[in-house]
């Protein structure tokens, strides 16, 4: 297998990023953020989720976000749906793309969605089937692929069983998530290699959290397998509300900088992306967690605005 000449980045900041922040952004702010990310060149952007607002209050009014973006036919705007009720709400809001979320850890599944792995997969059979019949694109997530906050080690067999089930029921791609960010490059590569062999390289996406600072190294370790889809969150926002201690996602800015520096095309304008991240962080009252954004800001302060053109 050879490295893909381009990588499709799935921007998860407006959902996976914002869901674990301490401030709830308004519908208007979330729409502005998604528009800014799209203007930076990102074409697949998670727009929110139709989960219980009691458990994930930051995702309230996702329907209004989708309605405000109905004219953006150039974008794939997946929304997370946990069950048939969530799917019905997403459909009513005009969703054209959905995502379902299963875990490779029984304990995490119980804590996260209130049911076991087998029950969650049975629930998604109907959701995915209805989505496909409606002409929607469907993304599947597998969480805890390299470790669980409750069980520790998660077997590769368990990960592949869930991923295969999602692929067979009709998910267009399966995103393998290191939910607590404990993976290291060799483990990440072994996982990705097995996933590619099991469901095909075109169906594999990678989703690494940066809790231990390993996310970029993990992506790099998998590139030569031919994987061409990677998830990231602008400014490194987020984490998982059901994974204590798990910090934010891989920062999209850092991923773009690395890939473009390696000659791997992303189609993303780094300057505009960093500006979108700064805007989101200002609204949230937090500092960007992207190393690249911090470095760019320091460089501009030192050399002046003209230096940004050379980045």
Model confidence at 147: pLDDT above 50: yes
* Higher pLDDT pick, 303 / 164: 164
How does the average pLDDT of the chain come out, rounded? 93
Q: Mean pLDDT across the stretch 126-145?
A: 97
Domain containing residue 14: CATH number? 3.20.20.70
Q: Mean pLDDT across the stretch 143-163?
A: 97
pLDDT at 242: 54
- Residue 299 pLDDT class (50, 70, 90 cuts): confident
- Residue 186 belongs to some domain of the structure: yes
pTM above 0.85, yes or no: yes
Cβ neighbours, 10 Å, residue 126: 13
- Whether 256 and 40 have beta carbons less than 8 Å apart is answered as no
- Residue 187 belongs to some domain of the structure: yes
**Rounded distance, CA 39 to CA 150, Å?**
40
- Residue 3 belongs to some domain of the structure: no
Tens of pLDDT along 158-217?
A: 999 999 999 999 999 999 999 999 999 999 999 999 999 999 999 999 999 999 999 999
* Residue range of the domain that includes 31: 8-310
- Residue 2 belongs to some domain of the structure: no
Count the domains in the chain.
1
Phi, psi of 205 (to 5 degrees): -125, 155
- Residue 1 belongs to some domain of the structure: no
- Residue 294 belongs to some domain of the structure: yes
Helix segments in the chain, DSSP class H: 27-39, 62-68, 84-92, 106-113, 117-133, 156-169, 185-199, 215-223, 252-261, 270-284, 291-303
Helix segments in 200-267, DSSP class H: 215-223, 252-261
- Residue 77 belongs to some domain of the structure: yes
Residues in the chain: 311
pLDDT at 302: 62
**Rounded distance, CA 51 to CA 113, Å?**
10
Tell me which of 144, 148, 171, 240 is the catalytic residue.
240
Note if 240 is an active site residue: yes
Tens of pLDDT along 85-133?
A: 999 999 999 999 999 999 999 999 998 888 999 999 999 999 999 999 9
**Rounded distance, CA 146 to CA 152, Å?**
9
Burial category of 309 from C-beta neighbours within 10 Å (exposed 0-12, middle 13-18, buried 19 and up): exposed
pLDDT at 239: 62
DSSP string covering 140-178:
EEEE-SS-BTTTB---HHHHHHHHHHHHHHT-SEEEEEE
Q: Which residues pair with 208 in a beta bridge?
A: 178
Give every CB contact of residue 157 below 8 A, 6+ residues apart in sequence.
Answer: none
Model confidence at 304: pLDDT above 70: no
Tens of pLDDT along 254-267?
A: 999 999 999 999 99
């Amino acid at each position: 297998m050879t490295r893909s000449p381009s990588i499709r980045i799935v921007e998860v900041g407006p959902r996976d990023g914002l869901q674990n922040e301490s401030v709830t952004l308004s519908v208007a702010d979330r729409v502005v953020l998604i528009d800014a990310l799209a203007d930076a060149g990102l074409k697949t952007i998670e727009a929110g989720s139709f989960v219980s607002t009691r458990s994930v209050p930051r995702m309230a009014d996702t329907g209004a976000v989708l309605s405000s973006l109905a004219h953006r036919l150039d974008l794939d705007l997946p929304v997370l749906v946990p069950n048939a009720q969530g799917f019905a709400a997403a459909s009513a809001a005009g969703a054209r793309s959905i995502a379902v979320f299963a875990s490779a850890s029984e304990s995490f599944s119980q804590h996260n969605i209130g049911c076991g792995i087998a029950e969650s997969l049975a629930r998604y059979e109907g959701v995915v089937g209805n989505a496909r019949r409606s002409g929607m694109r469907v993304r599947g997530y597998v969480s805890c692929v390299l470790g669980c906050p409750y069980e520790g080690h998660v077997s590769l067999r368990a990960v592949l069983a869930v991923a295969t089930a999602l692929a067979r029921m009709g998910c267009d791609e399966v995103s393998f998530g290191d939910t607590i960010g404990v993976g290291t490059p060799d483990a990440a590569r072994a996982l990705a290699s097995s996933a590619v062999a099991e469901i095909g390289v075109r169906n594999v996406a990678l989703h690494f959290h940066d809790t231990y600072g390993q996310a970029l190294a993990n992506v790099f370790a998998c590139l030569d397998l031919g994987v061409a889809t990677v998830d990231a969150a602008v400014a490194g926002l987020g984490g998982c509300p059901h994974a204590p201690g798990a910090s934010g996602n891989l920062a999209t800015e850092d991923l773009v900088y690395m890939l473009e520096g390696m000659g791997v095309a992303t189609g993303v304008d780094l300057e505009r992306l960093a500006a979108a991240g700064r805007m989101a962080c200002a609204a949230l009252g937090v500092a960007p967690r992207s190393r690249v954004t911090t470095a760019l800001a320091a460089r501009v302060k030192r050399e002046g605005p003209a230096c940004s053109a050379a980045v």
